[in-house]
């Protein structure tokens, strides 16, 4: 008898806008963020099995990733089994292309691809709304990896509304060998805010998004968007990894309209005027010894192939 398997993909993301409110009692900060899914994908193949296991492969080094029950993809698959009453398991094979601990939601994309893949493999048909609820229990960025496109995230980043983004934007990602831990970056921001509470603007309890940024996305005006990119985690990320400041500056003096730290970093997202300019910028960065790649955005969320 042949063994059934299903393959799904889910995109990595960048945050073109991220305002961070105060730390709540649940250990999370309220945020107002605009996510954009980019054309760099994680691929997960799930195969019928009696128990749960995960293996990683792909173009990036995955040797240090834990493959025990604490792994987010196993937790994602188990959550679908629990929600549907399904009694079996699955072997989960993940091909990773999104940088690990890079601020691009790679682990969240793995979880989102796993949710749709096991739901299809097992025929549990939980539906988009239920999968999205499960996604939010796995991590703040997981619902967005399911959803894809361009979206506003409120709450922890998991309360999503779609945002109109008409035409394709071209980004150059500059990837770092070393990763940064998301909790470490949020802690650094809290420390910085405590130490500089007099100088910095009052932290909004309910952060909101910039209307001009939404307009720039709607009209596909890259030059206007460049004026309104914002990431409140950027200062904290640069304190933990000062060399990133040079990367942004290098990008901005070699053709990027603007550069920003993606999420909690350390990946840098450089916005290009068009596809040609992105290709040229990436080549310049690579010639300068940096690891860079071109992506376009927005792209669809998690889907079965």
Task: Kindly report the number of other CB atoms within 10 A of residue 111's CB atom.
Answer: 30
Do residues 143 and 158 make contact, with C-beta atoms less than 8 angstroms apart?
yes
Catalytic residues, by residue number, are 13, 141
The least distance separating ligand C5P from the CB of residue 186, rounded to whole angstroms, comes to: 4
Describe the strand order of the beta sheet including 291-297 as a list of residue ranges: 258-261, 268-272, 169-175, 291-297
157-161: long-range pairs with CB below 8 Å, 24+ = 157/31, 157/33, 157/35, 160/132
Q: Does 19 bind ligand C5P (CB under 6 A)?
A: no
Site string for ligand C5P, 190-219 (x = CB under 6 A): ------------------------------
Q: Does 157 bind ligand C5P (CB under 6 A)?
A: yes
- Closest to 189 in 3D by CA, of 14, 20, 15: 20
Of 141, 226, 237, 272, the residue at the interface with ligand C5P (CB under 6 A) is: 141
Tell me whether residue 247 or residue 264 sits nearer to ligand C5P (CB atom). Answer: 264
Q: Does 156 bind ligand C5P (CB under 6 A)?
A: yes
Q: Does 123 bind ligand C5P (CB under 6 A)?
A: no
For residue 273, the SS3 value is coil
Q: Does 10 bind ligand C5P (CB under 6 A)?
A: no
- Closest to 6 in 3D by CA, of 62, 57, 44: 44
Q: Which region, judged by CB under 6 A, interacts with ligand C5P, from 25-33, 226-234, 247-255, 270-278?
A: 25-33
Q: Does 17 bind ligand C5P (CB under 6 A)?
A: no
Q: Specify the residue for token string 């940064």.
A: 180
Q: Which parts of this chain interact with ligand C5P (CB under 6 A)?
A: 27-29, 31, 139-141, 156-157, 182-183, 186
């Amino acid at each position: 008898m042949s063994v059934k398997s299903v393959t799904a993909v889910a995109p990595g993301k960048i945050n073109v806008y991220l305002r961070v409110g105060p730390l709540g009692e649940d250990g999370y900060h309220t945020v107002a963020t605009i996510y954009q899914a980019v054309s760099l994908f994680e691929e997960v193949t799930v195969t019928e099995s009696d128990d749960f296991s995960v293996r990683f492969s792909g173009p990036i080094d995955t040797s240090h990733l834990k493959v025990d029950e604490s792994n987010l993809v196993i937790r994602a698959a188990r959550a679908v089994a629990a929600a549907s009453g399904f009694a079996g398991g699955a072997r989960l094979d993940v091909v990773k292309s999104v940088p690990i601990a890079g601020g691009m939601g790679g682990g969240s994309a793995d979880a989102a691809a796993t949710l749709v893949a096991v739901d299809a493999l097992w025929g549990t048909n939980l539906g988009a709304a239920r999968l999205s609820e499960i996604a939010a229990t796995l991590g703040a960025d997981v619902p967005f990896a399911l959803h894809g496109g361009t979206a506003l995230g409120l709450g922890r980043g998991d309360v999503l509304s779609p945002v109109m983004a008409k035409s394709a934007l071209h980004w150059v990602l500059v990837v770092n060998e070393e990763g940064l831990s998301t909790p470490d970056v949020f802690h650094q921001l809290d420390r910085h805010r405590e130490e500089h509470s007099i100088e910095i603007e009052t932290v909004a309890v309910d952060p909101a998004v910039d209307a001009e940024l939404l307009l720039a996305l709607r009209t596909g005006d890259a030059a206007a968007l460049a004026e309104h990119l914002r990431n409140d985690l950027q200062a904290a990320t640069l304190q933990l990894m000062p060399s990133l400041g040079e990367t942004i500056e290098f990008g901005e003096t070699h053709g990027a309209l603007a550069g920003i730290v993606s999420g909690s970093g350390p990946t840098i997202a450089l916005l290009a005027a068009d596809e040609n300019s992105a290709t040229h910028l990436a080549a310049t960065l690579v010639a300068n010894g940096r690891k860079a790649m071109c992506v376009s955005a927005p792209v669809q969320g998690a889907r079965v192939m």
